[in-house]
Amino acid sequence: MRLRVIFVGWLLLLKSSYATAGLVMQSRILVSDPISEKGVELLNAHPDITADFKVGLSPEELISIIGEYDALIVRSQTKVTPEVFAAATKLKAVGRAGVGVDNINRDAANSHGVIVMNTPTGNTISTAEHAFTLMCATARNIALGHAGVINGNFKAARKAYQGIELNGKTLAVIGMGRIGSEFTKRAQAFNMKIVAFDPFLTQSRADEMKVSLASTPDEALTGADVVTLHVPMTD
């Protein structure tokens, strides 16, 4: 949702600059991946914006039509390659409705003067909640217990998959960015002890968050009952 607000705001700002110069601007946006209904409504609400929703385009199909558009909104499926930018003679901005922009060739965007946007905080809470739910489910063997009940082995499953309490356990958090920090807040509500490692986390910030700061990942892992990783995937 934040991306659509920023994106539409940017296009309207561009429109106002055209109007100052005595020109008329009708912006065309291509949405090539599925987005939320709220995003669709926001785009359609502006009379000076024409949004075309064409999901599932092949690379060749995208290249053949991208020259007609001022802006492109994608998620993960569409790959915005140098060939796409070369064909996008009118393109001014590419918006990624998500965190990463690895499916957008930023070097090609820069060489063609195209702005690349994303929504770095758009799914922070939902990701942290999802990860925390998985930790709780693992601690209580929810999946195994459920399978046992479905298979008619309730008594055996009840004894075998009782799991552990998280209360008082030590949690090692590797990566204290947006998601790691939100995960930590939820773990603290469960009375877990937090040991964190992040090369960018200062002692003052760690004290503010009421976590123990480890100097190395190994130090954070020592004595940990549970480990959660919130770091970029690298080669």
- Reported as a single tens digit per residue, the pLDDT across 174-194 is 999 999 999 999 999 999 999
- Among candidate residues 190, 94, 66, the one with its CA nearest the CA of residue 140: 190
Query: What pTM was estimated for this model as a whole?
Result: 0.67
DSSP assignment string, the chain: -HHHHHHHHHHHHHHHHHHHTT----EEEEE-S---HHHHHHHHT-TTEEEEE-TT--HHHHHHHGGG-SEEEE-SS--B-HHHHHH-TT--EEEESSS--TTB-HHHHHHTT-EEE--TTTTHHHHHHHHHHHHHHHHTTHHHHHHHHHTT-HHHHHHHT-----TT-EEEEE--SHHHHHHHHHHHHTT-EEEEE-TT--HHHHHHHT-EEPSSHHHHHTT-SEEEE------
Say yes or no: 136 and 218 in one domain.
Answer: yes
Least confident interval from 1-10, 56-65, 212-221, 223-232: 1-10
Say yes or no: 149 and 225 in one domain.
Answer: yes
Least confident interval from 35-49, 59-73, 77-91, 118-132: 35-49
Q: Averaged over 123-152, what is the pLDDT?
A: 91
Checking if the pLDDT of 22 tops 70, the result is no
Checking if the pLDDT of 21 tops 50, the result is no
Q: Which residues contact 133 (CB under 8 A, 6 or more apart)?
A: none
Checking if the pLDDT of 92 tops 60, the result is yes
Say yes or no: 103 and 45 in one domain.
Answer: yes
pLDDT tier at 12, thresholds 50, 70, 90? low
Say yes or no: 163 and 129 in one domain.
Answer: yes
Checking if the pLDDT of 14 tops 70, the result is no
Query: What's the distance, Cα to Cα, between the start and end of the chain in Å?
Result: 31
Q: Averaged over 139-163, what is the pLDDT?
A: 85
Cα 233 to Cα 217: distance, rounded to the nearest angstrom: 16
Residue 234 lies in a domain: no
**What residues make up the domain containing 187?**
124-229
Structural domain count, the chain: 2
Residues forming a β-bridge with 195: 172, 212
Say yes or no: 111 and 21 in one domain.
Answer: yes
Identify the CATH number of the domain in which residue 200 sits.
3.40.50.720
Say yes or no: 92 and 189 in one domain.
Answer: no
- Among candidate residues 69, 62, 127, 66, the one with its CA nearest the CA of residue 100: 127
Percent of the chain whose predicted confidence (pLDDT) is above 90: 62
Predicted pLDDT at 24: 45
- Among candidate residues 80, 91, 85, 83, the one with its CA nearest the CA of residue 27: 91
Q: Are 78 and 105 in contact (CB under 8 A)?
A: no
Beta strands 226-229 and 71-74, pairing class: unpaired
Residue 83 lies in a domain: yes
Residue for token pair 């002692």: 203
Q: Which residues contact 78 (CB under 8 A, 6 or more apart)?
A: 32, 33, 57, 62, 72, 103
Residue 149 lies in a domain: yes
Say yes or no: 172 and 76 in one domain.
Answer: no
Residue 99 lies in a domain: yes
Domain stop point among 58, 93, 117: 117
